[in-house]
Amino acid sequence: MNKLIYKNLKMRLALLIVGVIFIIFLTSQVSAISVKELLGLGKSEVEEEKTELIQKNAPAEKDSVDWAKTLAQGTKLNPQIDLDYVSLLVANMNQQERLKVLGDAALFKQVIENEANNRSAVSAASFNKVEQDRNVEFLMRRGAENILREAYLNRLVVSKLPKDFPSDEQVKEYFEANKGQFVVPERIHVWQIFFKKSEKADAKEIAALKKKANKIISDIKKGKADYSNTAISQSEHEQSRNVGGYMGLLKTSELLPEMKQSILKLKEGELSKPVESKSGIHILKRGKILKAETLQLPQVEPQIRQLLVNQANTQLRNAIFVQARKEYPQDISDKNLEEWRLRLKTNTN
């Protein structure tokens, strides 16, 4: 009997040792690292062997709702805000926001109070098991995945983009090759007093509006009225009337043909005769014309640098997506897509 017990103990001990060795093997660091693994885009041969072994011994996947349950169970029901939490909160602000919050005691208190309100609301939601709703669980998981993806992409892009990119030479080359992008077209300061006509305006209505406009023009020229004050009191163009009829610095090429033809004939400060358009009658006033000009490199260098950085970021991100899709493929066929679409369409009708 004692021999049988001893034999069983030896067998259990052997199994325990094997189990410990197996756990150590699974959790130990892998020394064989490939270039793809360094990039976070692939696995080393040893890692692939580990993954296969884990997959063979892994239990079947649980329902996706367990993800949210685990998330909720991993923290206290009513976690308290402490210095460590606040440190992480502040560390994830942009520099300008961080300096502003830390430099103002009242603002700092307001930020923490708002965060406390949020944390309490999350605790209440968890207590009421809101995270067990499949839609809520999906949104929680998707939000976490989005943050993880962006953190991964940003780190990889930063690590691959040279710190001195773009160089002065690259900026200059772009400028020389794209000078047409840096031409400021001819622009003109324009004012107007506007009278709207009805959709089915007849000749009589239009004549009355022109007569009204001519009277205003005459009064302004004789000094009986001021253009800006008249625009404020009588113009029917809401956007410009509050600023004395000023339409802004407009590109000459973008003016309505009838307005362009009239205003370019005027001298600076001169008023036009009543100009009819599809929408109504305009009394135009011409301001200074700014001739077209080509901006020089020093004027646009910051914009070019940012443009090149944005282009490089986009190209790198796209390349990362392509490589990741190769390393971790998603099996989606046209047949599946159509089946899903039709099923969802049927379910929503």
pLDDT, tens digit, for every residue of 96-138? 999 999 999 999 999 999 999 999 999 999 999 999 999 999 9
Domain boundary pick from 11, 26, 57: 57
20-31 as b/e: b if 16+ CB within 10 A? eeeeeeeeeeee
Q: Is the pLDDT of residue 76 over 80?
A: no
Query: Does 245 lie in the same domain as 169?
Result: no
Question: Is residue 86, in this structure, part of any structural domain at all?
Answer: no
Query: How many other C-beta atoms lie within 10 A of the C-beta of residue 280?
Result: 19
**pLDDT score at 130:** 93
Question: Is residue 93, in this structure, part of any structural domain at all?
Answer: no
**pLDDT score at 77:** 65
Q: Any idea which residue has 């329902």 for tokens?
A: 63
Query: How many other C-beta atoms lie within 10 A of the C-beta of residue 137?
Result: 20
Residues 6+ positions from 98 with CB-CB distance below 8 Å: 90, 91
Query: Does 306 lie in the same domain as 167?
Result: yes
Higher pLDDT, 74 or 267: 267
Q: Is the pLDDT of residue 191 over 80?
A: yes
Query: Does 168 lie in the same domain as 46?
Result: no
Domain with 40, as residue range(s), is 2-57
Query: Does 277 lie in the same domain as 194?
Result: yes
Question: What CATH number is associated with residue 286?
Answer: 3.10.50.40
**pLDDT confidence band for 206 (50 / 70 / 90):** very high
Query: Does 267 lie in the same domain as 190?
Result: yes
CA 153 to CA 320: how far, in whole Å? 8
Query: Does 50 lie in the same domain as 10?
Result: yes
Domain boundary pick from 57, 75, 93: 57
**pLDDT confidence band for 342 (50 / 70 / 90):** very high
Question: Is residue 105, in this structure, part of any structural domain at all?
Answer: no
Query: Does 204 lie in the same domain as 169?
Result: no
Contact indicator for 253, 188 with CB cutoff of 8 Å: no
Beta strand 187-196 pairing with 246-251: antiparallel
CA 264 to CA 251: how far, in whole Å? 12
CA 79 to CA 117: how far, in whole Å? 12
Question: Is residue 172, in this structure, part of any structural domain at all?
Answer: yes
Question: Is residue 81, in this structure, part of any structural domain at all?
Answer: no
CA 276 to CA 282: how far, in whole Å? 6
Question: Is residue 28, in this structure, part of any structural domain at all?
Answer: yes
Query: Does 287 lie in the same domain as 192?
Result: yes
Return the minimum-mean-pLDDT range out of 65-74, 200-209, 218-227.
65-74
Q: Any idea which residue has 């324009």 for tokens?
A: 190
Query: Does 245 lie in the same domain as 333?
Result: no
Domain boundary pick from 266, 291, 316: 291
Query: Does 325 lie in the same domain as 234?
Result: no
CA 177 to CA 157: how far, in whole Å? 26
Question: Is residue 144, in this structure, part of any structural domain at all?
Answer: no
Q: Is the pLDDT of residue 34 over 90?
A: no
Query: Does 308 lie in the same domain as 166?
Result: yes
Question: Is residue 283, in this structure, part of any structural domain at all?
Answer: yes
For residue 70, what are its two tokens?
A: 């685990």
Share of residues in the chain with pLDDT > 70 (%)? 78
Structural domains of the chain, count? 3
**pLDDT confidence band for 348 (50 / 70 / 90):** confident
Query: Does 17 lie in the same domain as 165?
Result: no
Q: Is the pLDDT of residue 189 over 50?
A: yes
Average pLDDT over residues 167-186: 95
pTM of the entire predicted model: 0.55
**pLDDT confidence band for 194 (50 / 70 / 90):** very high
